[in-house]
Amino acid sequence: MAVSEILKMEGFEVTAVMDGQAADDTLKKEHFDVVVLDIMMPYMQGTEVASNMRERGDFTPVLLLTAKAETEDRIEGLNMGADDYLAKPFAMGELVARVKAMVRRSKEYQQTVLNVANVTLDLESNELSAKSGSLILSVKEAKLLALFLEKEDVSYTLEEIVTRIFQDDEVSREEITLYIAYLNNKLVQIHGKLQIVQEDEVVQLQQLA
């Protein structure tokens, strides 16, 4: 796992897995700034993992590592959802430089204003607004609502919400349910045409008529 060790030495927090299926499963549950995929992995190729990410609406930057030098294989990787590729053998310094550049570009283009239906969330001020008014959310409320506004067709389990939003805090499922209730109440206050719906362990965003 030389790649992960080098990235750790450069100050990155790294989650390493050993095969494509494990990568796909991990990416369904966790958020990353950059994803580095080897094209030749057991159980599922890196190109398929990247394609699955894009189909789920996950547009995290993907760097594809490939031993295949042919132009057709590189084009296939880019067509399947990769943002960049690095052909083996490569210098570790070049890998680190590519990853740093992708992280920088990702942060530069990160959306600060999210809009779904008649609801707008400004992530810089945490202001939630609609035509009927506006109010300020807490940091956690804003992060939780942004999770659904960024990918409005994606549902999340309570465990996934803990991992993505509350990973540094001791938060129970009951507390997450309370956060959802608070958000729904505030959406009602501004006459927002959105509702966060929880059914057992699954939570999703719904647009109201």
- Read off the pLDDT of residues 125-171 as tens digits, 9 standing for 90 and up: 899 999 889 999 988 899 899 989 988 788 888 888 887 777 656 77
**């991992």: which residue's tokens?**
163
How many other C-beta atoms are found inside a 10 Å radius of the C-beta of residue 52?
A: 18
Q: In the 3-class helix/strand/coil scheme, how is 134-186 assigned residue by residue?
A: EEECCHHHHHHHHHHHHCCCCCEEHHHHHHHHCCCCCCCHHHHHHHHHHHHHH
Report the residue count for the chain.
Answer: 209
Q: What is the mean pLDDT of residues 192-203?
A: 93
Residues 6+ apart with CB under 8 A from 105: 61
68-72, 78-82, 173-177, 202-206: range with lowest mean pLDDT: 68-72
> Which pLDDT value is given to residue 202?
92
